[in-house]
Amino acid sequence: MSSTVFTIANQKGGVGKTTTAVNLSCALAEKGVRTLLVDLDPQANATSGLGLEKEEGGSLYGPLCGEGTAMEKIRSVETSKNLFMIPSEVDMAAIEIELVQRENYLAQLRICLETVRESGDFRAIILDCPPALGMLSMNSLAAADYLLIALQCEYLAMEGLGQILKVVDKLRDAGVNDHLALGGILMTMFDQRTNLAHQVVQEVRGHFKDEVFRTVIPRSVRMSEAPSFGQSIFEYDSNSSGAFAYRQFAAEVIKRFQLRG
Ligand code: ATP
Ligand code: MG
């Protein structure tokens, strides 16, 4: 079976994209879904968040420029037998400039990932994007089946959401990726003590109904500490509220996208 590709993209910074990419990948793997996490962000937060070293030549930079293959860049992750990763490195920052010079520049990531998808090695491929709707994010949208949006439970949470949803429609209408769809919205960093957080969740659900996942990710100190140890929340504190929430989210994702069997 070919893989289902999810991109976690949003031009807003610091909303929980990487935290979601890392912990969703780990939770899916823990539940037996073979998963490949691809770090497309030059900041390489997903790479360091999983405790992987940034190696020169280890990212998709080469393959996106036509040198080498994505398959060669896949690394196993020690802590999980079902989890694999293509790391990022600072070089990725230059890919924006490289890509615009290439023909068919929106399709380069999709082309790169084709053999990986068709290998049948991975049931899910998760793309972690930088906080901009630049070449990398656009390539990820052109390569994905579904866009997952992380939305912070804060004032003006929905601001800018229209922009990325418009991009999805445009890419679909232009035939760049005619089956791209919104996979869902995940509310992150929910602080249940504040009225504002409750109001934001209610408002977003009012607008987007069932597109919003039932799971809401709580804000917690444990969640913010885990990446500095190069660990997912499951390694860092498997019994924390954050670990529970990301497990529940993974179960929802498996069900919604039929990632079993
Ligand atoms: P960027 O746009 O820079 O890529 P991002 O959208 O990927 O950011 P993250 O890096 O996942 O966002 O999160 C931003 C910060 O908030 C990080 O320091 C992260 O550890 C912290 N954080 C994420 N989720 C939570 C949470 N549920 N509770 C507490 N802190 C969190
Ligand atoms: Mg990030």
* Banded pLDDT at 161 (limits 50, 70, 90): very high
* Banded pLDDT at 2 (limits 50, 70, 90): confident
The atom of ligand 1 lying closest to the CA of 15 is 6
Structure tokens at 28: 């899916």
Residues 9/134, Cβ–Cβ less than 8 Å: no
Residue among 19, 151, 189 to mutate when testing ligand 1 (max atoms within 8 A of CB): 19
Q: Nearest ligand, CA of residue 186?
A: 1
Task: Provide, rounded to the nearest whole percent, the portion of the chain with pLDDT above 90.
Answer: 90
Query: What DSSP string describes 26-41?
Result: HHHHHTT--EEEEE--
Structure tokens at 242: 């954050």
Give 56 or 223, the one with higher predicted confidence.
Answer: 223
Q: Is 123 in the pocket of ligand 1 (CB under 6 A)?
A: no
Mean pLDDT of the chain: 95
**Residue 211 C-alpha to ligand 2 middle, in angstroms?**
22
- Asked if the model's pLDDT at residue 246 lies above 80, the reply is yes
- φ/ψ (deg, to 5) at 126: -120, 125
The atom of ligand 1 lying closest to the CA of 188 is 27
- Asked if the model's pLDDT at residue 163 lies above 60, the reply is yes
Position 260 scores a pLDDT of 85
* Banded pLDDT at 140 (limits 50, 70, 90): very high
**CA 22: distance to chain centroid?**
8
Q: Is 17 in the pocket of ligand 1 (CB under 6 A)?
A: yes
Which residues, at least 6 apart from 33, have a Cβ–Cβ distance to it below 8 Å?
A: 82, 123, 124, 250, 254, 259, 260
* Banded pLDDT at 261 (limits 50, 70, 90): low
Structure tokens at 238: 């498997």
Position 90 scores a pLDDT of 87
Burial (CB count <10 Å: 0-12, 13-18, 19+), residue 175: exposed
Q: Is 39 in the pocket of ligand 1 (CB under 6 A)?
A: no
* Banded pLDDT at 232 (limits 50, 70, 90): very high
Q: Is 48 in the pocket of ligand 1 (CB under 6 A)?
A: no
The atom of ligand 1 lying closest to the CA of 217 is 27
